[in-house]
Amino acid sequence: MKYFILSIIIIFNNSLHSQTSRIDYSRVLKWSEIARSLPYLSKEEKDRISMTWAKDRNNPEPYILLFDQNQAIYYLDEDNLPPQQWNWRREKRIIHTLYSEKKRSDNIEVLGKTFIIDDQMIKYKWKILNEIKEVAGYVCMKAETTDTIKNQKIVAWFSSEIPISLGPEGFNGLPGMILEIDKNDGQAVISATKIQLDSILVPIKIPKKKGKKVQSEKLDLLISKHIRESIVAHRNPYWSIYF
């Protein structure tokens, strides 16, 4: 077992220079759980939401993380959305990370406007917990952090078998690839479904970025203001921003 893993890692490290790896994630939002956390709803309204919607089968959205030895890109896999009779528009989110230089470029839609953030990679303050589980064939360890803007509890499951300090949605900074992110105890779960290491010969293509350049802090301010105002207006803020 040990030698097997060792050999994987060695092969992995040797071939990093020329090839691209790909991790497919699926992102599931549980709207009934998100709604239950809204402070302006009464207990009766929350129970009603649970009773009516909690059992709904939520449709996962596929995302792709492509990475090589110095950069990574994370985006919605629009061509593999679960076939539906109707397709609504998804908010755009492309995260390009030049991790060898600790830089990121986030192309994100917030409140109907497209922004570009060119900044340093976000430094998360992770707590490492004593829990292990398997995600997509890899044994992962649990870590936890907090998103202070959206006030979300973030749980990450990372595997040191893939020794790249990255993950979905720009999460990073753990000793291994993040294979699962869980926001607020299941309100949103982004989980790896398929992992292909070094098997892709095509180099990463950086898509053209469109949008208004904005500083990270300004966008955070816009988001927290929107959340605050929506709560006052008794409106679910997450109908209009990325959860």
Partner 1 sequence: MLKNILVVIFSFSLIDAIGQSEKGTIKGMVKDTSNEVLSLASVMLLDPVDSTLLEYTQADVSGFFEINSVPYRSYLLKINYVSYIPFQKLIELNKKELNLGELIMQPIAKQLFEVVIKAAKAPMSIKGDTIEYDASTFKVPQGSTVEDLLRKLPGMEVDIQGNITSEGKNVNKVTVDGKTFFGGDPKAATKNLPAEGIKKVQVFSDQSEEEKITGHRRLNADKAMNLELKDEFKNGGFGKVIVGAGTEFTKELKMSYNKFSNKHQFAFLGSGTNTGRNGLSWNDYQDFKGSNSFNWGDDGEFGFGSGSNFRMTTFDDGGDDDDNSGIGGFFGGDNFGFPEKVSTGINYNYDYKKTKLSSMYFYDLNNLYSDAYRTQNFLYYENPYDTQDTSSRSNRRQSHRLELRYEQDIDSLSGFIVKSNHSIGIRNTLTNTNTHSFTTSALAINDQLANIDVNGLNVNSQNSIIFKRKFKKQGRNLGVSGAYNYNNSDRDSDQDATSNFYSTTGAIDSTIILNQIFSTNQPVNTFKANAFWMEPLGKRLYYKTFYNFARALTNYERNVSDSTDQNQLVANDFLSRKFSNVNGYNRLGQSLNYIHSGFNINIGLAYQEIFLTSEFKTGIDSAFTVSKNVYQDWIPNAEVEYEMSNGSEFSISYSKFVTAPPSRDLLPILDNSNPLFIRIGNPDLRPEVGHDVGFSFRKFNRLNFTSLFSRFGVTYNKSDIINLIDINQSRVSISTPINVEGTKSIYANINFGFPIVKNRYTLNLGYNYNYSYFTTLVNSISNNPVTQTHGFSLRSNITPSEIFTLFISGNYRIQYQQTDPDSLISTKVYNYGVNSEMNIKFPKLFFFNSSVNVNTTRNPINDFNITIPIINISVSKLFLKDNKGEIRLSGYDILNKTQGIQNSISSNRINQTQTLSLARYLMLSFTYNMRGIKSSLDRGGRRGMFF
Residue ranges in 134-163 that form contacts with partner 1 under rule CB under 8 A: 134, 139, 141-143, 160-161, 163
Q: Which of 44, 201, 202, 205 binds partner 1 (CB under 8 A)?
A: 44
Using CB under 8 A, which of 37, 105, 114, 216 touches partner 1? 114
Structure-derived torsion over alpha carbons of residues 4, 69, 179, 236, reported in degrees to the nearest 10: 180
Q: How far is the CB of 199 from partner 1 (least distance, A)?
A: 19
Per CB under 8 A, does 69 bind partner 1? Answer: yes
* Interaction residues for partner 1, span 117-136 (CB under 8 A): 123, 125-134
10 Å CB burial of residue 232 (0-12, 13-18, 19+) is: exposed
Q: Which stretch binds partner 1 (CB under 8 A): 19-27, 186-194, 200-208, 234-242?
A: 234-242
- Counting beta carbons within 10 angstroms of the beta carbon of residue 195, is it exposed (0 to 12), middle (13 to 18) or buried (19 or more)? buried
- Closer by beta carbon to partner 1, 24 or else 109: 109
The closest of 65, 242, 59, 79 to 171, measured between CA atoms, is 65
Of 196, 198, 195, nearest to 11 by C-alpha is: 198
d(CA 23, CA 63) in angstroms, rounded, equals 8
- Minimum gap (Å) between residue 54 Cβ and partner 1: 7
Query: Binder to partner 1 among 11, 18, 51, 217 (CB under 8 A)?
Result: 51
